[in-house]
Amino acid sequence: MVMQEPAVQDENGFDTYVNGGVPSTTGPKIEVVASNESDPGAATFCIRDEDHTLGNALRYIIMKNPAVEFCGYSIPHPSEYMVNLRIQTDGSISAVDALHRGLDDLINLTSHISSTFQDKVQAFK
């Protein structure tokens, strides 16, 4: 069962949540939920308070890594704000390392897109 933080009512009496409208689940942001210690190249991670936006982007970036054989994600249920991400590698790196690299690559990509966009906006003005 997913525990959600209690809603706080705003000045209009509507329920709001601490993290911008999405109920937060309890527990760490990312955790390993299924792993075989004899095969560090395969693991399933649970990423809390996220949806398809991060799941699809992260899956795409991780699959660009040549050491990754499979990466897929699922949303267990539309009312649960979590992504289950499965990574399997060829054994040359661990699934945890593939996740770290994927997160770093996604941060670098979004930073590049943001700075390029800002440069073009300034050039347009």
- Report the 3 state secondary structure along 72-113: EEECCCCCCCEEEEEEEECCCCCHHHHHHHHHHHHHHHHHHH
Nearest residue to 35 via CA among 100, 101, 94? 94
pTM of the predicted model as reported, rounded to 2 decimal places: 0.77
pLDDT digits (tens, 9 = 90+) for 4-30: 444 555 555 544 444 444 555 567 899
pLDDT digits (tens, 9 = 90+) for 30-69: 999 888 888 999 999 999 999 999 999 999 999 999 999 9
Determine the pLDDT at residue 79.
86
Ordered by where they begin, the domains of the chain are 33-124 (3.30.1360.10)
pLDDT digits (tens, 9 = 90+) for 89-113: 999 999 999 999 999 999 999 999 9
First to last CA, the chain: 51
Report helix angle 95-124 to 52-63, nearest 10. Answer: 110
3-state secondary structure of 121: helix
Determine the pLDDT at residue 37.
81
- Residue 47 CB partners (closer than 8 Å, separation 6+): 29, 30, 54, 55, 82, 83, 84, 85
Q: Are 26 and 1 in contact (CB under 8 A)?
A: no
